[in-house]
Structure 1
Amino acid sequence: MMNHETQQDYQNAHLHVPHDDMETLVLDDPSNNDQSFSGHLQPSQPSPRSPFNSFLDPPSYAEAVFTSFDSSSNGHENPDLSSRSNPSNSDYLYISVSDPQKEQELTNSLVPGGNTYYTYLLTTRTNLPEYGGPGSEFSVRRRFRDVVTLSDRLSESFRGYFIPIRPDKSSVESQVMQKQEFVEQRRVALEKYLRKLAAHPAIRTSEELKVFLEVKGKLPLVKSTDVASRMLDGAVKLPRQLFGGEAVGAVDVSEVAQPAKGGRDLLRLFKELKQSVTNDWGGTKPLVIEEDKEFLEKKEKLAEFEQHLSGVSQQAESLVKSQQDMGETMGELGLAFVKLTKFETEEAIFETQTARAADLRNVATAAVKSSRLYRELNTQTIKHLDKLHEYLGIMLAVDNAFSDRSSALLTVQTLSSELVSLNSRAEKLEAASSKIFGGDKSRLRKVEELKEAIRVTENSKLCAEREYERIKKNNRSELERIDQERHNDFMNMFRGFVINQAGYAEKMAAVWEKLADETSTYSKDSS
């Protein structure tokens, strides 16, 4: 799997300008005419440093444009198509992120200054009834910390779902990169993340996402506690959750169905760690095991798919790099021929030199056109093959959902083992008490306490089993969804990639065929 830097190089490869003397090649909407590019180019008059001047007119940008099969090739997304969950595309939830603004952290300190942060304007357009129906549009400002809170809440509420992975905090990267460059990169990443959430059939109408998109003001953040408080909290909750303590009657059994939160449920973590070690090294099977053979087979196949995906992604990077290098080399070749044309023209004495200069000019033109074609081809290649990177992110979400399942199963196993232990202790105390005439009041009281603990633990186990079954159901529905989406996504990727390769190959061939006709006299002379 590629690192962050490699992925950024892959995605931004088409932005590189190969040579200082080469004019900037920025291609816009392929469906537009030549005039549409005028707002994105440098002045049409060549600079004094430019080797073109009168010796080589820059070739038309229209010659470097190939209209792909898909309507999204112009880079503009139709909001009605933003939801993949509805094949009819009648429902849509379109989110845009824009207008980053620098703001000051408000503190109670008397010392002026403080930390600064950026907020982003989130604009939502939708016709979903959960958001107000057709024509609904609203905006709210959010900072990156709010996105982290949203991600955490979704992880708690949608266990077992393939939840899109949120962008990293990247505090180190923000210090290394130019500030504006980093802010824009984060804006793009946030927009992409939120659109993935909006496309998820379960998350798009969730209360968590609705609050995030609609409610103005700051989101309430999760309260943090110090280590001592966490240990105390864990020590109090654990007997109630797993062992049954003096306050077993006050336990909320639904808490047990949720995973232990960091160090907050410290003793519970130790208990589940012990159960995990027993599962791996105990030599005996746990009382509850994963018996869904179909799921285990799909899990194994997905792991194999991830390995192949990583390999294909690396090859896609190599292809993009090769096409980029070829485009740069062609551009430099064209510039070299331009300089040679200029020399031959200025130093021309004989008529043959003038004719040769004209031919050199044609070669330069063909090389520059080819360079532009390679650059535009690379842009299209990145657009289509970036789907591979997207699925590497999806595989991380799949791993997280499977971890939810494993965690829920471990909780059920731990409670099952605890029930066996509690029943065994109660039986031993009852047997020891029965041997004493009149009974042992102290032991009888402990037996009653253990029976109450058994009752609470049984209820907790039932709740944990329901949560486990819920996660299994979520896994199953998500696997079905991802299978269908993967088929559609990869078919579109292949189709777009192949058509663009073929289309640009034809354009490049036409460029060199024209040059071959223009220089056909040489072949006649040699014959």
Structure 2
Amino acid sequence: MMSSSPPAGAADGDGDMETLPLAAASDYASVASTFDPLLSTSSPPSPPTPAAFPLSRASSSFVDPPSYADVAASSPRSASASSSASPRSARAATSEYSYIAVSDPETEAEAAATSLVPGSGPTYISYLVTSARRGDHRRHSVRRRFRDFVTLADRLAESFRGNFVPPRPDKNTVESQVMQRDEFVAQRRAALERYLWRLAEHPAIGASDELRVFLQAEGKMPLPSSTDVASRMLDGAARLPRQLLGEEAVAPPQDVVQPAKGGRDLLRIFKELKQSMVTDWGGVRPPLVEEDKEFLQKKQKMQDWEQQLSSASQQAEALVKAQQDMGETMGALGLAFVKLTKFETEEAMYESQRIRAVDSKRIATAAVKASRTCRDLNTQTVKYLDTLHEHLGIMLSVHTAFSDRASALLTVQTLMSDLASLQSKIEKLEAASSKVFGGDRTRLRKVHELRETIRATEDAKCCALREYERIKENNKIELSRLDRERREDFLEMLKGYVTSQASYAEKIVDGWETVAEETSGYARRSSDDVTY
């Protein structure tokens, strides 16, 4: 807050105005380097590392407020984070890990790459991932590339069906080509660290072997089996003739706990697609339906909640942009009064002009101070309102978990329909065989084969039912957890947002009140003139 001083004392600082180069005054950065009324105060903290979705990169203002997602990129759980208690820090305190950091990006060459020109082969960026489990003083450090994070996400999606698995950062190749390399790497590093913290804070995933192996296992992460789409399709093509010839092929019971994928499950995909079309278009009631009314109601509420989140997130971005514009406008106002002060000082012929120059400098100081306050306010606004973005991202995990449930239900429905179809075939064969004296050995052998198929299908159905019930239970637990964390996060967001808005508004008001007091002589002289 500016201290009040009489005009005569303030005139002693006019020498700063004399050294201001007018030609450079059009550039905020140049003005800041030659005349800064706030150099005597502590400089504000530098803005955090930019995130992946900046609002505005182009800004010539020395105010340079951060974008909406700037603060979101930095992990709130890092060692340098504030020690103040919050729901997120409380969840981090209950996780299996006390420390996770992604740092030291390095460029490495592909191992299998061959090139006639040294150094011209394909490369990738690897990151040093450091972690420590709670109660263990040792820190594990491993090298991981983005492909390894993709592998981890795929394995977690398979192992934790029905859970709200935090989504991994996207691989935005277009953004990596447009942005500066260092900026893109910094953003990805921060996003990957934030992703690992979200995994560690998840009650089920934080204690999983998948995450532990990723954070502690030395060497390269092995790729999961059957990730090559081409090999899947070739394998499916090799099996396709047998399937089209009508040979019964029942998936092993353990395979039905995962959704159908690619060419390896081509027959299963066709069957489940047929079952889905019969249910949706044929108007036939499936043998098993979703009867959990409470879940269906919550699912609809989640869809409505997502729409509200999307709208609130857009308005939050508009708010931050408006605060950014306010800060830049205040900076421009300060620059205008800097120019006016310089002109009055250089061209002054009377004492009144010098006094006006002093008052113009006070206004310039207050405007620059208000500009910086707007920047700091933007940082705090982003810090709190990023909760909207975070929960909007969680909705991707919610959709995936609900999709897992629908997929598991469809698998059960398909297997139950298959059992009914197989039983119908047996009944027809037995009826036809009974009409032949002594029985039809060919039909009897076919009945025996069908009964074996029914036993295998029954086993698969039992596995599928158990998986469906497990996913249902995971959905129930996750919905309850999300509802609890949502209340905590949004209460913390609203309290912090309101407090920061009031605090910084008070700072701006105090600055302008000081200027009003220092220039109150004009009002007294105007009143004296009217009285006279």
TM-score (norm 2): 0.82
- Residues of 2 paired with 1:174 and 1:52: CA distance? 33
In structure 2, the CA distance between the partners of 1:410 and 1:363, relative to structure 1 (3 Å rule), is same
Shift of 1:125: 2.1
2:27 corresponds to which residue? 21
CA change 1:114–1:344 in 2 (3 A) is: same
The corresponding residue for 1:385 is 385
Residue 99 of structure 2 is matched in structure 1 by 94
Change (3 A) 1:455 1:179: same
Residue 84 (structure 1) shift = 5.8
Tell me how far apart the structure 2 counterparts of residues 111 and 200 of structure 1 sit (CA, whole Å): 47
- Residue 267 of structure 1: CA displacement? 1.8
Q: Which digits, 9 at most, give the CA deviation of each residue in 1:469-503, with x for residues without a partner? A: 00001111111111111111111111110000000
CA distance in 2, matches of 1:74, 1:231: 47
Aligned partners of 1:309 and 1:392 also within 8 Å: yes
Deviation at 1:57, TM superposition (A): 2.8
For the pair 1:58 / 2:32, whether they are aligned, the reply is no
- C-alpha deviation, 1:86, in angstroms: 5.1
Summarize the Cα distance change of 1:341–1:413 in structure 2 as closer, same or farther, 3 Å threshold: same
Distance (Å, rounded) in 1 between the aligned partners of 2:200 and 2:482: 16
Question: Post-superposition shift, 1:51?
Answer: 7.1
CA RMSD of aligned residues (A): 2.6
Aligned-partner Cα distance in 2 for 1:262–1:84: 41
Partner of residue 140, structure 1: 142
Tell me the residue number matched to 2:342. 342
The alpha-carbon deviation at position 351 of structure 1 amounts to 0.7
Q: Secondary structure at the match of 1:99?
A: strand
Q: How does 1:383-462 map onto structure 2 within 5 Å?
A: 383-462=383-462
* Residue pairs, 1:96-245, within 5 angstroms: 96-107=101-112, 109=114, 111-112=116-117, 113-127=120-134, 133-222=135-224, 223=226, 224=228, 225-226=230-231, 228-232=233-237, 235=240, 245=248
Shift of 1:392: 0.7
- Report the CA distance between 1:233 and its aligned residue: 6.3
Deviation at 1:176, TM superposition (A): 1.4
Q: Does 1:493 align with 2:493?
A: yes
8 A Cα contact 1:404 1:471, kept in partner? yes
Distance (whole Å) between structure 2 residues aligned to residue 206 and residue 233 of structure 1: 37
Residue deviations 1:74-123, cap 9 Å, x none? Answer: 99326998976758648643210000000000116474542100100001
Query: Would you say the 8 A contact 2:328–2:371 is kept in 1?
Result: yes
Shift of 1:179: 1.1
User: Hey, what's the Cα distance between the residues in 2 that align with 1:237 and 1:160?
Assistant: 34
Q: Residues 426 and 447 of structure 1 are in contact (CA less than 8 Å); yes or no, is this contact kept in structure 2?
A: yes
Instruction: Please list the CA deviations of residues 268-306 of structure 1 after superposition, one character each: whole Å capped at 9, or x if unmatched.
Output: 111111111111111121110001111111111011000
Q: Which ranges of structure 1 fall in alignment gaps of 5 or more residues?
A: 1-18, 24-48, 66-71, 128-132
- Specify the alignment match of 1:325 in structure 2: 325
**Contact between 1:98 and 1:121, CA under 8 Å: does it hold in 2?**
yes
- Distance, in Å, in 1 between the alignment partners of 2:214 and 2:334 is 53
Write the distance in 2 (CA, Å) between the matches of 1:74 and 1:195: 9
Q: Which amino acid aligns with 1:500?
A: S
**Structure 1 residue 50 displacement after superposition:** 2.9
Count of residues in correspondence between the two structures:
466
Tell me if the contact between 1:82 and 1:92 (Cα under 8 Å) persists in the aligned partners. no
Q: Give the 3-state SS of the residue equivalent to 1:97 in structure 2.
A: strand
Q: Using a 3 Å threshold, how does the CA distance of structure 1 residues 492 and 21 change in structure 2: closer, same or farther? A: same
Which residue does 2:466 correspond to in 1? 466
Give the aligned partner of residue 277 of structure 1. 277
Task: Say which SS state the counterpart of residue 196 (structure 2) adopts.
Answer: helix
Q: Give the counterpart letter for 2:102 in structure 1.
A: V
SS in 1 for 2:206: coil
Contact 1:82/1:94 (8 A) holds in 2: no
Change beyond 3 A, Cα 1:476–1:230? same
Decide which moves more: 220-229 or 324-333: 220-229
Distance 1:60 1:291, change over 3 A: farther
TM-aligned CA distance change 1:22 to 1:270, over 3 Å? same
Give the % identical residues: 57
> Deviations 1:336-372 (Å, cap 9, x if unpaired)?
1001100000000011101111111111111110000
Question: Do the aligned partners of residues 88 and 386 (structure 1) sit closer, same or farther apart at CA in structure 2, a change above 3 Å counting?
Answer: closer
Q: Is this contact kept in 2: 1:331–1:367, CA < 8 A?
A: yes
Match of 2:438, SS state, is: coil
Instruction: In structure 2, give the amino acid aligned to 1:380.
Output: Q
User: For the Cα contact (< 8 Å) 1:85–1:200, is it kept in 2?
Assistant: no
Q: Is the 8 A contact 2:95 2:200 kept in 1?
A: no
Q: Distance in 2 between matches of 1:348 and 1:244?
A: 102
Distance 1:61 1:481, change over 3 A: farther
Q: Deviations over 1:312-355 (max 9, x none)?
A: 00110110000000000000110110011000000000111011
